[in-house]
Structure 1
């Protein structure tokens, strides 16, 4: 029960952060990153977005093509 509550709160926080915050590309531009620093930042940001989107698809109880489509769009929106 506690685990479920913790996941729900994390999902809510992360989803809100991606929905309201700038995309990964916009954040990198805002921070004026270039070269290896930008590549590293974008890689980590995409990994974090992927994890968040995976949790969101599980929360929505999606499976198969619907899950893949949702996660792909979710990551694309978060990365920018």
Structure 2
């Protein structure tokens, strides 16, 4: 039982670290056209958009990795595009 709790705690810590890393990356990008840090509503809006995009890109990479045919070969062209589009829609 103790090992299960340890594994669960490590999994939660990993997820929290990944979310924090995305926040830090977005925070670093939150600059106006003159290079000054955004503040207030502009920063909140930027952070929300940036975090949503980072989650979507993570899901996109996972969907592309799953894009295999019945023989285990990577899909290509329209089949891959269709599969990734469907997978992304299901991920939301």
What TM-score, normalized by structure 1, do the two folds share? 0.48
More helix per residue: 1 or 2? 1
**More contact order relative to length (CA 8 Å, sep ≥ 6):** 1
What TM-score, normalized by structure 2, do the two folds share? 0.42
